[in-house]
């Protein structure tokens, strides 16, 4: 395995428990266009809301004729309304403080503009030197474009980056980008398996 020189974090499910926030956000859009809400126990739709970019989510939930209008409505929403539903993962800020002096830290997320107010709300923005969203690339995850762009901005070869993700979309993006992958949580496996952020610190401790 190549030397790790940069760390890339997914947002939802890795940095934050955000399923409740994502469902509230997309259900607000569905309400606006008189579609049935997504229930938390509808695992397929709830997972889509949690992992995919907004265009892909809305294409999966709405009739095609309504997608663009729904995207326009989504752009008018202030995501700060939904931030109180989000909770940082345990030990997140602790490990970022330890890792930042030793690695450049980045985010690659299928979120769009909402990531910046989230980082500002939780006072995490200054930890990250690069933030790449679905608005920065032509193809969101599972395409590798975000990870290529992060590596380019970090000026680090892709195979010297470690991407921490929690979904099959993250894993596919990492494989296709030639980036090392750590599976966070129980939903996806990786070269490295992490139950929590302290596991990441333990894994990297030999090089700190």
185 and 103 share a domain? Answer: yes
- Each residue of 67-116: pLDDT tens digit? 999 999 999 999 999 999 999 999 999 999 999 999 999 999 999 989 99
Last residue of a domain, one of 67, 84, 101: 84
Domain boundary among 60, 84, 108: 84
User: Does residue 1 form part of some domain?
Assistant: no
In a domain, 31, yes or no: yes
In this structure, are 185 and 121 located in the same domain?
yes
Q: Would you say residue 189 lies in a domain?
A: yes
8 Å CB contact between 134 and 111: yes
C-beta of residue 164 within 8 angstroms of C-beta of residue 7: yes
Average pLDDT, the chain: 95
CB atoms within 10 A of CB 54: 23
Predicted pLDDT at 187? 83
Distance in angstroms (rounded) separating the CA atoms of residues 39 and 23: 8
Domain of 130, CATH number, reads 3.40.50.1000
pTM for the predicted model, two decimal places? 0.90
Looking at 36, 53, 84, the residue that finishes a domain is: 84
| Tens-digit pLDDT profile for residues 130-185 | 999 999 999 999 999 999 999 999 999 999 999 999 999 999 999 999 999 999 99
Segment (H or E) for 8:
strand 6-9
Q: How high is the pLDDT of residue 31?
A: 97
Using CA atoms, how far apart are residues 139 and 155, in angstroms rounded to an integer? 21
Structure confidence at residue 50 as a pLDDT band (50, 70, 90): confident
pLDDT at 207 over 80: no
Domain range for residue 71? 19-84
Is 80 found in the same domain as 114?
A: no
pLDDT in tens, 21-31: 999 999 999 99
């Amino acid at each position: 395995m190549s030397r790790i020189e940069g760390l890339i974090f997914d947002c939802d499910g890795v940095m934050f428990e955000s399923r409740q926030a994502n469902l509230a956000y997309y259900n607000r859009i569905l309400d606006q266009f008189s579609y049935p809400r997504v229930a938390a126990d509808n695992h397929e739709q709830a997972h889509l809301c949690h992992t995919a970019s907004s265009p892909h989510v809305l294409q999966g939930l709405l009739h095609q004729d309504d997608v663009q209008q729904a995207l326009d409505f989504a752009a008018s929403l202030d995501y700060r309304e939904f931030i109180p539903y989000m909770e940082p993962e345990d030990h997140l800020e602790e490990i970022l403080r330890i890792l930042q002096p030793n690695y450049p830290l980045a985010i690659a997320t299928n979120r769009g503009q909402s990531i910046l107010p989230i980082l500002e709300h939780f006072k995490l923005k200054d930890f990250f030197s690069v933030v790449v969203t679905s608005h920065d690339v032509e193809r969101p995850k599972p395409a590798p474009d975000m990870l290529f762009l992060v590596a380019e901005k970090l000026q680090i070869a892709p195979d010297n980056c470690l991407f921490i993700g929690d979904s099959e979309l993250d894993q596919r993006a990492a494989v296709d980008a030639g980036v090392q992958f750590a599976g966070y949580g129980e939903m996806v496996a990786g070269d490295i398996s992490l139950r929590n952020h302290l596991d990441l610190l333990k894994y990297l401790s030999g090089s700190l």
